[in-house]
Chain A
Amino acid sequence: MVYAVIAAGGIGSRMGNQDKPKQYLHIQHKPIIVHTVEKFFVNAAFQKIIILCPNQWVNYTKEKFAKYLPPSDKVVVIKGGDTRNETIMNAIRYIEETDGLDDETVIVTHDAVRPFVSVRIIDENIAGAQKYGATDTVVPATDTIVESLDGETISAIPDRSKLYQGQTPQAFKAKLLKELYESLTEEEKGILTDACKIFTMKGHPVHLIQGEVHNIKITYPYDLRVAKALLDEELD
């Protein structure tokens, strides 16, 4: 069975003077998170769509979905964890407690603030996880990436042709992800910035899925303006 895991974390402090987490801001008269979830909602591959958000936003999120999505028991909203990986683990625990977990259970994790994700990207992540165990959506890096160990001088300039920018979704065999995560030491967990890193740290290959440049993450006010421009919405 395949589950969507939508991570709606963040407190939204980066959205300038907007005080709500950014996934609740509107584009096209709807919260961004609703647009994002709709893409998974119409995809029959998903058994359930599990949305994880900070505890104080759980009811708010449920109310938004009650208003903006047709009634369905496919969408569930639960509390996220302190870190992204803990949030994913909460989703896996939820699956384990409700439907049970087996070797073929796949989760497709996605940022709530990437509403432009396409059906191709989603479907390829599902197929990739089923075949390889783990996938990551990427686009080739366009900017030169510079490494600096001290923050003052360049220590290395990696070959750009080998670099990619990570997007989401990422997809995993849930049981394998859980086992690998639980095998990490607390110190190893502390340096994780990304669920795919759990696989790479343990020497497990992560298959690349080609993303789209327009699969943007709405993080800053600038991104919101880009999203509105993509939708031909009036810029305010």
Chain B
Amino acid sequence: MLNTVYRLTQPRKIEIAFTELDLFSSDVIVRPTYLSICHADQRYYQGTRDPKVLAQKLPMALIHEAIGEVVYAPDGSFEVGAKVVMIPNTPVEHDDIIAENYLRSSKFRASGFDGFMQEYVQIPADRLVRLPEGIDPHVAAFTELVSVSVHAISRFDKIAHSRRNIIGVWGDGNLGYMTAVLLRKFFPDTKLYIFGIDEKKMQDFTFADETILTTEIPEGLTVDHAFECVGGNASQIAINQIIDYINPEGTISILGVTEYPVPINTRMILEKGLRMFGTSRSGRVDFLKTVEMYEKYPDIVEYLSHMVGNVVTIRHIKEMGEAFDLDTKKAMGKTIMKWEK
């Protein structure tokens, strides 16, 4: 079947291309319904990635956060009409030790190959996870992002020592908010402190025990463990501040993406015997866990619905550009494309 793909051919320019989908393949065909724009997509769209990287990766369809409806499942793995979230990570091998999202051979949608801005997506059944009945599709659209936090927290749970009286989350943006919402559920007895720079944004962390401006951290305050959800140029400040305020043998989970190497206070990491670990992306197991959390704690979806910013219905290519432009103007939240193209 001829399939229309909407590829970024150069920064700010989306053009149609056609691919052929094989109906004799055992893969499932999904009609995307709600797509969510991520910073990574925006960096391609705005052309802020290294020109060499752009030249190598484009043309490519953007978007790795999306849900859809199954239209064709020849292997019977899903019924037609099933609502699913699509997993962008696409492993080509299995490793008993290394998770699929860390295998160097794995491919990732909208990074190594076409993302979800397509008329139909042909995808292996194990890259689909069924969504709970009646879930808010605007929230479900960014399940991939939520699964990255779930992945980070799950790894933290395995790595960090058991004293978890206070966990600090650095970052008052989307990632910080989402990670904090999930930490509240994973560790209900732990005190949750949010460290940020925007008092107004932090007012929305209603479930946290404390919200603290990074410029006004009370003397003597310490945390057992910390999550860095800042990224960008402020990574350095955040990570070093965490090193200052974390208790000995604490674990620091790094989630924020930076384009540049970050100098950090290794002397104090040594002195305090800290553990620092990175997480990136997520795999099937994290998506399953995320959906399980949605079902177990429906209020997670309610909290996350506060992150839904602009919802743009896409019926024409120019509306795709409008959605990306709107996304750059928001202070926080996610831009969702209701996909009718």
B119 adjacent to chain A (CB < 8 Å): yes
A70–B74 touching, CB < 8 Å: yes
From A41, A44, A115, A210, contact of B2 by CB (8 A): A115
Kindly report which residue of chain A lies nearest to residue B29, judged by CB atoms: A42
A70–B2 touching, CB < 8 Å: no
Name A's interface SS. Answer: loop
* Docked CA distance A115–B29 (Å): 18
Q: A35-B1, A116-B2, A119-B120 are in contact. List 5 more A-B contacts (CB 8 A).
A: A35-B2, A42-B23, A42-B72, A42-B120, A231-B2
Q: Write out the residue numbers on chain A whose beta carbons fall within 8 Å of the beta carbon of B120.
A: 42, 119
> Closest CB-CB distance, A98 to chain B, in whole Å?
22
Q: Which of B17, B23, B315 has the most CB of A within 10 A?
A: B23
Q: Write out the residue numbers on chain A whose beta carbons fall within 8 Å of the beta carbon of B275.
A: none
Kindly report which residue of chain B lies nearest to residue A36, judged by CB atoms: B2
Q: Interface residues, chain B, CB within 8 Å of chain A?
A: 1-2, 4, 16-18, 20-21, 23-24, 29, 31, 71-72, 74, 80-81, 119-120, 315, 340-341
Q: Write out the residue numbers on chain A whose beta carbons fall within 8 Å of the beta carbon of B2.
A: 28, 35, 38-39, 115-116, 231
Asked whether A116 and B18 contact (CB < 8 A) given A42-B72, A44-B80, A70-B74, the answer is yes
From B4, B20, B74, contact of A118 by CB (8 A): B4
Q: Write out the residue numbers on chain B whose beta carbons fall within 8 Å of the beta carbon of A38.
A: 1-2, 21, 23
3 pairs of A and B residues whose beta carbons are closest in the complex: A38-B1, A42-B72, A44-B80
* Docked CA distance A118–B315 (Å): 11
Asked whether A39 and B1 contact (CB < 8 A) given A119-B31, A119-B120, the answer is yes
| Chain A contact patch, size range | 20 to 34
Name B's interface SS. Answer: loop
Cβ contacts A97-131/B at 8 Å (1 or 0 each): 00000000000000000011011100100000000
B18–A230 touching, CB < 8 Å: yes
A28–B81 touching, CB < 8 Å: no
* Docked CA distance A43–B119 (Å): 12
* Docked CA distance A65–B2 (Å): 16
A119–B119 touching, CB < 8 Å: yes
> Closest CB-CB distance, A40 to chain B, in whole Å?
10
Asked whether A70 and B23 contact (CB < 8 A) given A42-B120, A44-B80, A120-B315, the answer is yes
A69 adjacent to chain B (CB < 8 Å): yes
* Docked CA distance A119–B340 (Å): 9
Q: Write out the residue numbers on chain B whose beta carbons fall within 8 Å of the beta carbon of A202.
A: none
From A44, A118, A120, A214, contact of B71 by CB (8 A): A44
23 pairs, A vs B, C-beta closer than 8 Å: A28-B20, A39-B2, A41-B23, A42-B1, A42-B23, A42-B72, A43-B71, A44-B71, A69-B23, A70-B74, A115-B2, A116-B18, A118-B119, A118-B341, A119-B120, A120-B315, A120-B341, A123-B340, A210-B315, A214-B4, A214-B16, A231-B18, A232-B18
